Amino acid sequence: MKSRKIARSESAKSVARGRTPVVRSAPRTTRKMEKKTIRLTVNGEPHELKIGNKPNETDPSHTLAHTLRETLGLTGTKVSCDNGACGCCTVLMDDKAVLSCMTLTVECDGKMITTIEGLKDPKTERLDPLQQAFIDYTAFQCGFCTPGIIMSAKALLHENPSPAEEDVKEALSGNFCRCISHYHVVKAVMAASREVR
């Protein structure tokens, strides 16, 4: 059997000889992370966020859910499973439903984000017809997952203002709720679609 020669570092050789290991300093040429600013519009309001890992900066690893809740104070967006399985964190990005717990904030540069807080009319403070329909049809109980369900339904109505019940069920198939009947939700979405036509 051939023996393989193992390359040893100076530290390993020193330890093997019973000496204090050689400690090397960090390389002098380290790559500096370039500062970057991203701009996004949330509920019609423009925001400019510095990317970095210092206080008052958005870390490159922050999710959109984290930024919405912790940086911008928009706590209507909920985080439940935190791995894209339940739909609680759903928001609209350019009118399409996205899971904000699975979307990095740095991916949102130049995007238009709408959260549950952004659905009401900013002038009259009147609820969106979809929000009102959820109240009228008692399509919620504890309400924790309701913002995500409403945002998924809103994305559907942007794409298809006159959905069939099957379309609604398909659009909401990624939203899970433990305390309500999804029949109430489907009725509420259908009622809202009739109102916005």
Tokens of 66: 């984290």
How are beta strands 90-93 and 45-51 bridged, if at all?
A: unpaired
CA distance 73 to 82: 18
> So what's the pLDDT on residue 195?
82
Q: Which helix (H) or strand (E) holds 41?
A: strand 36-42
User: For the chain, which residues make up each domain, given as ranges?
Assistant: 36-118, 119-197
pLDDT classification of 73: cutoffs 50, 70, 90: very high
CA-wise closest residue to 138 among 79, 88, 195, 186? 186
User: Is the CB of residue 130 less than 8 Å from the CB of residue 189?
Assistant: yes
Rounded CA separation 70/85 (Å): 21
- Which architecture characterizes domain 119-197 according to CATH? Orthogonal Bundle (1.10)
Is there a contact between 172 and 185 (Cβ–Cβ < 8 Å)?
Answer: yes
pLDDT for residue 34: 60
Query: What is the model's pLDDT at position 1?
Result: 46
Give me the architecture of the 36-118 domain, per CATH: Roll (3.10)
On the question of a common fold for 36-118 and 119-197, the answer reads: no
